[in-house]
Amino acid sequence: MATNTSGRGVVISGGGSGIGLATAQKFLEAGDRVVISGRGGPRLEAALLHLNKIPGANGRLWTVQADLASHEGAEALAKAALGYLGKIDILVNNAGLNVKERSIAALSNERWREVLGGNLDSAFLTTQAFLPTLRAQKGGLIVYINSIAGLRGNPLGGAAYVAAKFALRGWATALAAEEKPNGIRVTSIFPGEVNTPILEARPNPVTEEHKASILQPEDVASAVFFVSALPARASIPELIITPSHYSFI
């Protein structure tokens, strides 16, 4: 497989829609090479069609269908991405999900495992799959798209989602400390409400007016790109971004 060596090599999980798609667009527009992953289906296909409209994107963009909540899926993504990119400069762990059954009273064992798998296990397994390459390179940036729910527990996100996101913050903190000698930087980004397809899993429908008043995917993508643009001597462990009308207390 031929490897293109121009631009940075960027891998984005959950790249078929929302924040992942907007982040892929940002890096492609900057001339970087991008691999996006998703569980397949119409969203990943639509993302490919959309991103290929960016001038020069053809030949710098690849998709990998993978279930990152499984070891096999994460390993398949890492192998494919390394084959396409040659060098992994930036790994954006963006894959995540939520469910409608958010209260503790409504939460089943199956839904609990689904939420932890999609938000915590996927980030852990994907990171583990890429770490040998990043260690051998002696450098790289790992970005986790967390959530305000990973800092402030609230019923809106639901007990399982809050637990997964709090745990993800702990994982990222421990990872940053252990991998610092290998030149690997770690950033967790904590967005408030974002207008993405995850809103479809809200117990109550979200109005178009509300969607317009909160963060848009490109806002979070800009934060990811800002972090990635810093030199290797600089690190941002955590970054919080919220709608302007929020009170973060």
Active site residues: 161
- For strands 184-191 and 140-145, give the pairing: parallel
Using CA atoms, how far apart are residues 192 and 174, in angstroms rounded to an integer? 23
Q: Which of 20, 18, 24, 43 is nearest to 193 (CA)?
A: 18
Strand, helix or coil for residue 143? strand
How many C-beta atoms lie closer than 10 Å to residue 109's C-beta? 7
* Alpha helical stretches, state H, the chain: 18-29, 42-51, 71-85, 109-116, 122-137, 159-179, 208-213, 217-229
164 within 8 A of 186, measured Cβ to Cβ: no
At a CB cut-off of 8 Å and minimum separation 6, what does 95 contact?
Answer: 13, 14, 20, 37, 38, 68, 118, 119, 122, 123, 126
63 within 8 A of 35, measured Cβ to Cβ: yes
37 within 8 A of 68, measured Cβ to Cβ: yes
